[in-house]
Amino acid sequence: MNILVTINKKYLKILFTMLNSLSFNNSKHILNVYVVANDLTISDFKNYHVDNVKFTIIHFEDEILDSAPTSKRYPSVIYYRLLAAKFLPNDLDRILYLDPDIIVLKDLSDLYNSDFNGNYYIGSSNVKNILRKFNEVKNGAPKKAPYLNTGVLLINLKELRKFDQSKEVYNFILKKRMTLMLPDQDVLQGLYGDKVLQIDHLKYNLSDRTITLYNLKHLVNKIDLNWVEQNCSIIHYFGRNKPWKNSYRGILQDYYLKYEYKEAKL
């Protein structure tokens, strides 16, 4: 499996916690992990080890991103997953992007080998109805375009190399920079909302927030830890509710603690 991550140095231990879970539950695969990080080198990984993982460190910078909207929560590296076809090796046809604040619970072969059917991305959406429509209008997206959470994203590199995607992304950022709220997700919906396939967000992008909203709407068959064990493949701790913080609230923290990388020397 080819895996893509984009991080900075402060997320290194969190990244290796995610990789622990990925490795443990995908032990039959060689995991080729491409790490895009401009403040890291291979020497930063010397105190870390995860079985069946091979690392490639990529430094990628582009002047156009200097003018792209960023913040403490959304640094410029968030855009890099959208430009993966530009900097990854040409012999890669597909890659699975994973945020570091993720825990993998099951084998991801079915997701990784999904048929793109000519589409550029496969992912899930936590946004529906009015908010999805709001983003569609704001981003000038194709009609009924889903608003994907880009934390789990299967990328069709082969198709994206057939045109100058980076130019499209750059032009969109420059045109919409004042209205981009979750910048990379806005760009993806605005440009490629009609070239994505959706997967089940409860299975591949489950969070405590999602569980709360789901259980409020369902009087029976609520999501509990037994349901998670049976049905969930990926937990994503998106937003501010992080399991390594004392302020964490929810039922999913123990999964993070189970795989937490404890031998790192930071």
**Is 77 a domain residue?**
yes
Reported confidence tier of residue 264, pLDDT bands at 50, 70, 90: very low
pLDDT in tens, 36-53: 988 888 888 888 889 899
Confidence of residue 77 (pLDDT cuts 50, 70, 90): confident
Residue 117 lies in a domain: yes
Query: Computed from CA positions of residues 199, 203, 209, 211, in that sequence, does the dihedral angle turn out positive or negative?
Result: positive
- Taking residues 212-239, what's their average pLDDT? 95
CA-to-CA distance for 150 and 201, rounded, in angstroms? Answer: 12
Rama region for 40: left / alpha / beta (φ>0; ψ in -120 to 50; rest)? beta
- Looking at per-residue pLDDT, the higher value among 96 and 11 belongs to 96
Res. 122: pLDDT tops 50: yes
pLDDT value of residue 244:
96
Whether residue 31 is contained in a domain is answered as: yes
- State residue 186's pLDDT score: 93
Please report whether residue 112 resides in a domain: yes
What local confidence, expressed as pLDDT, does residue 64 receive?
59
The residue-averaged pLDDT of 210-233 equals 95
Query: Over 90: is that where the pLDDT of 73 sits?
Result: no
pLDDT score for 266: 38
pLDDT value for 152:
98
- Residue 46 falls within a domain, yes or no? yes
Q: What is the pLDDT of residue 89?
A: 95
- Cα(230)–Cα(214) distance, integer angstroms: 17
| Residue 38 structural domain | 2-259
Residue 192 confidence (pLDDT) above 60: yes
Note the pTM of the prediction, 2 decimals.
0.93
Q: How far apart are CA 53 and CA 22, in angstroms?
A: 10
Separation of alpha carbons 119 and 162, rounded Å? 12
Burial (CB count <10 Å: 0-12, 13-18, 19+), residue 61: exposed
The CATH number of the domain holding residue 96 is: 3.90.550.10
Q: What pLDDT does residue 85 have?
A: 93
Element (H or E) spanning 22, and its range?
Answer: helix 12-25
> What would the pLDDT profile of 15-36 be if each residue is shown by its tens digit?
999 999 999 999 999 999 999 9
Question: Does any domain span residue 206?
Answer: yes
Query: How far apart (Å, rounded) are the C-alpha atoms in residues 176 and 55?
Result: 35
Q: What is the pLDDT of residues 132-188, one digit of tens each?
A: 999 999 999 999 999 999 999 999 999 999 998 888 988 898 888 888 888 899 999
Count the domains in the chain: 1
Amino acid 72: pLDDT: 63
> Is 266 within the bounds of a domain?
no
Average pLDDT of the segment spanning 88-111: 97
Is 250 among the domain residues?
yes
pLDDT > 70? residue 214: yes
